[in-house]
């Protein structure tokens, strides 16, 4: 199976520190490669993969202001679609823009929706609902206007998040510093429980940071350690008493929630978005309604078993489980391809008002149904392999380069008596070329009725 | 000739008041339609045209903040490329994003570059330099990194800008209110010459307006009349003594400069960008270096003949002249199409390693050269029209649905003895399919050597 994996250009894949979409893309890619899948990763030029790397944009635009995102994003996306024929499937983890190129290829497209930045972007997803297969990252993030082929929770690499038996002595905030993430409430909870609070994450809203966070930072009871890369992350997460995740938005997924639990650290969260799907209330954390309840939950944190947190992640949130779930979906999409048949497959090459050309590939030993058409004559040219064709009451063996006419209404059949796939071009001539103008008289696959 | 004309979505086409790109698109479209060209205008749903209107986005995003530009722009562009096969040519007047879809169609693309908003967008234009035909809107706006098929100055509809013999008594600023456009210097020049200044245009830079413009507005000597639609524009332009166009950027083209001259009003401009191409210094205006020189130029304005300004526009800047220039370029592109031949044209439908399919269209009475190939056999199926084919020493008439084999090395020829175009499918089988594997033995068009 050959997969084109399309990552965003905001950060490196995998990211140096922040970059949740790129992080998930990398985890999935590397796990698929480890499972033997042929993956070509389309990402920034400085990305790392054990698969094949393809790139147009050298560096991530969030790290280099000279890179104009609109310019490089369209070049990046156009490149994967230019090469679409090389792949069985394109996995879009970018956002909505690639959808608008999806009409120009027959290669199936699967799109992981990492969240809707605004309801204003829904029209694109709706427009391409029929052309792509959507994967939700949580039940909570599903739009009722779209059809989804699956919900697949993100998975993490357990080796990066070792389990810590003993609870630490500080509360942890881990995420973007933005009102959505509720850091001001985490500061309040820490103050009221007289606990130390460690803050890690990029500043996304400068004004919020300056007004509601910075005044509280004192290096002792409230400490800001900046954005933390993969190496320090595990120590910070594992060493905490609890992660405070008091979000004010419907978070589609919370990677840090799962990473924290993997280290054994339970999570106290507001019950918005995906939180009830990630946290078992009273077992791997507490789902609370407000700051008062969060303060109470901190007091009850030693009721929870840190081992239960780890177990939950081992069972539900590993990158191995995520990769297997995606592989199942890939296979389902490939099996569903419109032009796949029990005997092989075909591809429509051209359709005009008075003729249509198909390329037909028949597997060794297989044969199509004995059939006829009301509204079209056909002309077959064998390109490779061997064919034994029936036209009326004649059986005709064909070698590559040979051709045969099938008059309108004549009973006919194609069979592959050889041991390699047969490739045949079919030129249909008439006034209607639908698949419903096939009258089957006999079929190896019981499709006559 | 069937043209798809791709307009931006920022404003209606034509714009209600501001919208220079949409204005040019509309002028060109309506003029082409008047000349009998079949134009489909892809623009906002509220647009007006005497051609065919095609739309995906109902209203312009600059007039409706609920419309997310990135979302609707990609849907709009994807739509024109989805329908590409219906057109002889796509004329892109949007910007760079459509270029990234151009690899997915064989329909030629012509792109009018209305200016480079930043050097950071050049990589897209460079990437598609081979795939599209660029038109510059002035010599000054050309990038040395790109190839251009032509420079075509914008044209205006003279009927909208009647000539006024008598000079007015005020100076006019007409354009976006932004530091680039030098309104602060126009205010200075008006003050120093003790002339009234009328200001018309949208506010694009609020801070600049508040700090450097608003304090001077007094309703008498400096008057701001807001953004002015097509009806009031002619009165304002025609009634002025001179237009002040003291720009601080390399303006690719200045529509208001030409509109002003059409009404007979000369222009005093800084000599940046396209200004020396639009204004004849000392005849239709003055090209000056600084505010001091602009003040002197106001004093000399009665040396200029208002009739000369009008004449210049009638000769060089009408929408008729613009449309004829574009038609010439369209025709040149169509004539240059790679797959056009003296006898008709062909299209490559599929190319695989061991076969290739072409659709060949031969005009009535024409015939291809008598030829042979070293490395491929061919198989022909006539789809419509009549053919008389030569294979070796045989002459074979073909009716639609009939086919014939041309073995590798066999001398062959196709002729159309009928009175409608002949359409023939050619399946080439071999190991090389280049146009240079044609050995011509005899040719009506002298291509044997």
Q: How confident is the model at residue B366 (pLDDT cuts 50, 70, 90)?
A: very high
Find the residue in A nearest to B75 (Cα).
A100
What average pLDDT score do residues A248-266 get?
96
Q: What is the pLDDT of residues B377-388, one digit of tens each?
A: 999 999 999 999
Q: What is the pLDDT of residues A201-230, one digit of tens each?
A: 999 999 999 999 999 999 889 999 998 887
Cβ–Cβ contact B104 with A under 8 A: yes
| Phi (first) and psi of residue B331, to 5 degrees | -65, -40
This model of the complex carries an ipTM of: 0.82
Q: How confident is the model at residue B3 (pLDDT cuts 50, 70, 90)?
A: very high
| A52-61, A222-231, B49-58: least confidently modelled range | A222-231
Give the 3-state secondary structure of residue B198.
strand
What pLDDT, on the 0 to 100 scale, is given for residue B94? 96
What pLDDT, on the 0 to 100 scale, is given for residue A12? 97
- Do residues A387 and A365 touch, judged by C-beta distance below 8 A? no
Find the residue in A nearest to B124 (Cα).
A71
Find the residue in A nearest to B425 (Cα).
A427
Cβ–Cβ contact A127 with B under 8 A: yes
Q: Which residues on B lie below 8 Å from A352 (Cβ)?
A: 383
Asked if the Cβ–Cβ distance from B67 to A120 is below 8 Å, we say: yes
Q: Which residues on A lie below 8 Å from B433 (Cβ)?
A: none
Q: Chain B: nearest CA to A423, how far in angstroms? A: 10
Q: Which residues on B lie below 8 Å from A97 (Cβ)?
A: 70, 74
Which residue's structure tokens are 């002003």? B260
Q: Chain B: nearest CA to A429, how far in angstroms? A: 7
Q: Which residues on A lie below 8 Å from B359 (Cβ)?
A: 350
Q: What is the pLDDT of residues A147-195, one digit of tens each?
A: 999 999 999 999 999 999 999 999 999 999 999 999 999 999 999 999 9
Asked whether the predicted pLDDT for residue B144 surpasses 90, the reply is yes
Rounded Cα gap, residues B202 and A221, in angstroms: 52
- Do residues B321 and A391 touch, judged by C-beta distance below 8 A? no
Q: How wide is the angle at C-alpha B76 spanned by C-alphas B74 and B81, nearest 5°?
A: 90
Asked whether the predicted pLDDT for residue A85 surpasses 90, the reply is no
Find the residue in B nearest to A424 (Cα).
B355
Q: What is the DSSP string of A199-229?
A: EES-BS-HHHIIIIIGGG--SSSEEE--S--
Residue % of chain B over a pLDDT of 70? 100
Q: Chain A: nearest CA to B435, how far in angstroms? A: 20
Rounded Cα gap, residues B48 and B23, in angstroms: 11
Rounded Cα gap, residues A319 and B363, in angstroms: 61
Cβ under 8 Å to B: A residues 344-363 = 349-350, 352, 354-355, 357, 359
Cβ–Cβ contact B383 with A under 8 A: yes
Rounded Cα gap, residues A142 and B211, in angstroms: 48
Q: In terms of Cα–Cα distance, which of A317, A330, A334 is closest to A138?
A: A317
What average pLDDT score do residues B153-176 get?
95
Asked if the Cβ–Cβ distance from B383 to A118 is below 8 Å, we say: no
Cβ–Cβ contact B74 with A under 8 A: yes
Give the 3-state secondary structure of residue A353.
coil
What pLDDT, on the 0 to 100 scale, is given for residue B449? 62
Q: How confident is the model at residue B268 (pLDDT cuts 50, 70, 90)?
A: very high
Helix (H) or strand (E) run with residue B126 in it: helix B122-127
- Do residues B25 and B43 touch, judged by C-beta distance below 8 A? yes
Cβ–Cβ contact B408 with A under 8 A: no
Between B335 and B272, residue with greater pLDDT: B272
Asked whether the predicted pLDDT for residue B447 surpasses 90, the reply is no
Q: Which two tokens stand for residue B339?
A: 């797959």
Between A106 and B257, residue with greater pLDDT: B257
Asked whether the predicted pLDDT for residue A348 surpasses 80, the reply is yes
- Do residues A32 and A93 touch, judged by C-beta distance below 8 A? no
Cβ–Cβ contact B375 with A under 8 A: no
- Do residues B22 and B12 touch, judged by C-beta distance below 8 A? yes
CA B7 to chain centre: 10
| Ramachandran class of A430: left when φ > 0, alpha when ψ lies in -120 to 50, beta otherwise | left
The β-bridge relationship of strands B52-54 and B38-42 is parallel
Asked if the Cβ–Cβ distance from B74 to A381 is below 8 Å, we say: no
Asked if the Cβ–Cβ distance from A427 to B381 is below 8 Å, we say: yes
- Do residues A141 and A253 touch, judged by C-beta distance below 8 A? yes
Q: What is the DSSP string of A23-68?
A: HHHHHHHHHHHHTT-EEEEE--TT---SSEEE-S-SS-TTT-TTS-
Q: What is the pLDDT of residues B75-109, one digit of tens each?
A: 999 999 999 989 999 999 999 999 999 999 989 99
Q: What is the DSSP string of B27-72?
A: HHHHHHHHTT-EEEEE--TT---SSEEE-S-SS-TTT-TTS-HHHH
Find the residue in A nearest to B77 (Cα).
A100
What pLDDT, on the 0 to 100 scale, is given for residue A446? 86
Q: Which residues on B lie below 8 Å from A66 (Cβ)?
A: 120
Q: In terms of Cα–Cα distance, which of B153, B208, B162 is closest to B183?
A: B208
Cβ–Cβ contact A439 with B under 8 A: no
Rounded Cα gap, residues B223 and B213, in angstroms: 10
Q: What is the DSSP string of B428-445?
A: EEES---TTS-EEEE-TT
Asked whether the predicted pLDDT for residue A77 surpasses 90, the reply is yes
Enumerate the β-bridge partners of residue A318.
A156
Q: How confident is the model at residue A347 (pLDDT cuts 50, 70, 90)?
A: confident
Find the residue in A nearest to B400 (Cα).
A429
Asked if the Cβ–Cβ distance from B383 to A355 is below 8 Å, we say: yes
Q: What is the pLDDT of residues A21-48, one digit of tens each?
A: 999 999 999 999 999 999 999 999 999 9
Burial of B317 (0-12, 13-18, 19+ CB in 10 A): buried
Q: Which residues on B lie below 8 Å from A96 (Cβ)?
A: 71, 74
Asked whether the predicted pLDDT for residue A13 surpasses 70, the reply is yes
The β-bridge relationship of strands A344-351 and A355-362 is antiparallel
Cβ under 8 Å to A: B residues 150-209 = none
- The pTM assigned to this predicted structure is 0.84
Rounded Cα gap, residues A16 and B396, in angstroms: 70
Q: Which two tokens stand for residue B336?
A: 């240059």
What pLDDT, on the 0 to 100 scale, is given for residue B237? 97
Q: Which of A346, A378, A379 to probe by mutation at the B interface, max B CB count within 10 Å?
A: A379
Q: What is the pLDDT of residues B20-33, one digit of tens each?
A: 999 999 999 999 99
Q: Which residues on B lie below 8 Å from A399 (Cβ)?
A: none
Asked if the Cβ–Cβ distance from B349 to A357 is below 8 Å, we say: yes
Give the 3-state secondary structure of residue A198.
strand
Asked whether the predicted pLDDT for residue B280 surpasses 80, the reply is yes
Rounded Cα gap, residues A39 and A52, in angstroms: 6
What pLDDT, on the 0 to 100 scale, is given for residue B67? 94
| Phi (first) and psi of residue A239, to 5 degrees | -85, 0
What pLDDT, on the 0 to 100 scale, is given for residue B112? 98
Helix (H) or strand (E) run with residue A298 in it: helix A291-299
Rounded Cα gap, residues B123 and A74, in angstroms: 11
Asked if the Cβ–Cβ distance from A127 to B75 is below 8 Å, we say: yes
CA B373 to chain centre: 41
Q: How confident is the model at residue B242 (pLDDT cuts 50, 70, 90)?
A: very high
Asked if the Cβ–Cβ distance from A383 to B97 is below 8 Å, we say: no
Q: How wide is the angle at C-alpha B188 spanned by C-alphas B184 and B191, nearest 5°?
A: 135
Asked whether the predicted pLDDT for residue A449 surpasses 70, the reply is no
Cβ–Cβ contact B429 with A under 8 A: yes
Of B103, B377, B400, which has the smallest distance from its Cβ to A429's Cβ?
A: B400
Q: Which of A349, A425, A430, A431 to probe by mutation at the B interface, max B CB count within 10 Å?
A: A425
Q: Which residues on B lie below 8 Å from A100 (Cβ)?
A: 74-75, 77-78, 101
Q: In terms of Cα–Cα distance, which of A245, A240, A301 is closest to A271?
A: A245
What pLDDT, on the 0 to 100 scale, is given for residue A349? 85
Q: Which of A120, A131, A402 to probe by mutation at the B interface, max B CB count within 10 Å?
A: A120
Rounded Cα gap, residues A381 and B405, in angstroms: 10
Give the Å distances, CA to CA, from A192 to A292, A294, B56, B296.
9, 10, 55, 74
Q: Which residues on B lie below 8 Å from A104 (Cβ)?
A: 81, 101, 104-105
Find the residue in B nearest to A96 (Cα).
B71
Cβ–Cβ contact B42 with A under 8 A: no
């Amino acid at each position: 199976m050959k997969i084109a994996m399309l990552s965003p250009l905001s950060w490196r894949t995998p990211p140096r520190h922040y970059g949740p979409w790129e992080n998930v893309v990398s985890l999935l890619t590397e796990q698929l490669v480890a499972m033997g899948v042929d993956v070509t990763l389309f990402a920034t030029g400085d990305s790392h993969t054990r698969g094949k790397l393809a790139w147009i944009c050298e560096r991530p635009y969030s790290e280099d202001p000279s890179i104009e995102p609109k310019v490089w994003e369209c070049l990046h996306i156009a490149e994967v679609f230019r090469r679409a024929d090389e792949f069985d499937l394109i996995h879009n983890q970018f956002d909505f823009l690639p959808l608008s190129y999806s009409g120009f290829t027959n290669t199936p497209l699967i799109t992981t929706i990492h969240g809707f930045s605004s309801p204003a972007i829904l029209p694109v997803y709706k427009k391409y609902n029929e052309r792509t297969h959507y994967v939700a990252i949580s039940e909570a993030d599903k739009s009722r206007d779209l059809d989804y082929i699956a919900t697949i929770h993100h998975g993490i690499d357990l080796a990066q998040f070792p389990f810590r038996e003993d609870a630490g002595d500080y509360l942890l905030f881990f995420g973007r510093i933005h009102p959505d993430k509720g850091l001001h409430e985490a500061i309040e909870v820490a103050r009221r429980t007289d606990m130390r609070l460690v803050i890690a994450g990029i500043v996304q809203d400068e004004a919020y940071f300056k007004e509601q966070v910075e005044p509280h930072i004192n290096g002792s009871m409230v400490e800001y350690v900046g954005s933390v890369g993969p190496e320090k992350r595990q120590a910070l997460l594992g060493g905490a008493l609890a992660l405070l995740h008091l979000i004010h938005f419907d978070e589609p997924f919370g990677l840090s929630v799962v990473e924290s639990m993997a280290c054994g650290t339970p999570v106290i969260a507001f019950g918005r978005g995906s939180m009830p799907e990630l946290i078992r209330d009273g077992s791997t954390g507490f789902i609370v309604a407000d700051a008062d309840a969060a303060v109470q939950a901190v007091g009850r944190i030693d009721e929870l078993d840190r081992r239960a947190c780890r177990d939950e992640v081992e069972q539900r949130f590993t990158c191995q489980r995520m990769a297997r779930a995606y592989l199942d979906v890939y296979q389902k999409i490939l099996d569903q391809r419109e032009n796949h048949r029990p005997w092989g497959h075909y591809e429509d090459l051209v359709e005009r008002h008075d003729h249509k050309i198909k390329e037909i590939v028949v597997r060794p030993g297989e044969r199509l149904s004995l059939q006829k058409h009301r509204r079209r004559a056909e002309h077959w040219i064998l390109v490779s392999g061997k064919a034994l064709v029936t036209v009326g009451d004649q059986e005709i063996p064909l070698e590559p380069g040979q051709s045969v006419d099938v008059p309108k209404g004549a009973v006919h059949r194609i069979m592959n008596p050889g041991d390699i796939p047969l490739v045949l071009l079919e030129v249909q001539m008439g006034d209607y070329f639908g698949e419903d103008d096939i009258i089957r008289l006999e079929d190896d696959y019981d499709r006559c009725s």
